[in-house]
Amino acid sequence: MWRDWSTRFNRWRYDLYAPLYDKVAQGFAAARRRSIGLLNPQPNEQVLLLGAGTGLDLDFLVRCRHITAIDIAPAMLAQLRERAAKLGVEVRAEVMDGHQLAFPDASFDAVVLHLVLAVIPDPQACIREVERVLKPGGHVAVFDKFLADRKRAPLWRRAGNLLARAVATDINRRLGDIVAVTQLQRIHDEDAGLGGFFRIALLRK
Ligand SMILES: C[S@@+](CC[C@H](N)C(=O)[O-])C[C@H]1O[C@@H](n2cnc3c(N)ncnc32)[C@H](O)[C@@H]1O
């Protein structure tokens, strides 16, 4: 129940943020390039952007011919469609809840999770779905804010999280706790800025 309410709240607030989102998020271009570079999706592979937002990742996926993008906020996807048209990239874009993907098992070779695991209300449900829809041997690119595994958040982070969560995102989730509910292997993990506050990771099924 809390998840449904929280998901509705996300839809509402990201629809509200959509016109301004690119101004805030375009500063992450280098991290997107790096993360998608590690993922290295091939032109013929099926790629899923989950919590795709306005499609800022599409700039780095222009070679890919089978891109599916889902997001809970229709206004974000409206911008994604415009971006895709400008780039000449074909994208199947659908409003969908990342906790319950309407795709068969083993549908995708690669999944991009950029700035979504810290936002989606139940990241463990989301990653289970990612594992389900990923083909064996498929990869997941993660870029987000995480607390180091096994670390307790210091006071400033716990206090700051009250505001961060209300406005946009949780800053105290641990990638290890999220991935632990799956069989996905973390094959790469690197500092992506602010002394490890942002991280890029590559997972494999
Ligand atoms: C911080 S934005 C990141 C957008 C994009 N991935 C990027 O890197 O710019 C988080 C996105 O997650 C989406 N989102 C939140 N909850 C979701 C859910 N339950 N299912 C799908 N998308 C969701 C929001 O609508 C928003 O577009």
**Cβ of 56 below 6 Å from ligand 1:** yes
Q: Whose CA is nearest to atom 12 of ligand 1?
A: 51
Predicted local confidence at residue 164, as pLDDT: 83
Separation between Cα atoms, residue 38 and residue 53, nearest integer Å: 21
Q: What is the DSSP letter of 40?
A: -
- The answer to whether the Cα torsion of 89, 139, 131, 17 is positive or negative is negative
Determine whether the shortest distance from the Cβ of 131 to ligand 1 is under 6 A: no
Instruction: Report the largest interatomic distance among the alpha carbons of the chain, rounded to a whole angstrom.
Output: 47
pLDDT score recorded for residue 159: 87
* Spans of the chain, pLDDT less than 70: none
Q: How does pLDDT run across 21-73, given as a tens digit for each residue?
A: 999 998 999 999 999 999 999 999 999 999 999 999 999 999 999 999 999 99
pLDDT value at position 16?
A: 95
- pLDDT for residue 168: 79
What's CA 122's distance to the chain center, in Å?
Answer: 13
Identify residue 91 by its one-letter amino acid code. V
Apex CA 74: angle with CA 203 and CA 106, to 5°?
A: 35
Task: Give the gyration radius of the chain's Cα atoms.
Answer: 16
Check whether domain 2-204 has CATH 3.40.30.10, yes or no: no
Is the shortest distance between the CB of 45 and ligand 1 below 6 Å? no
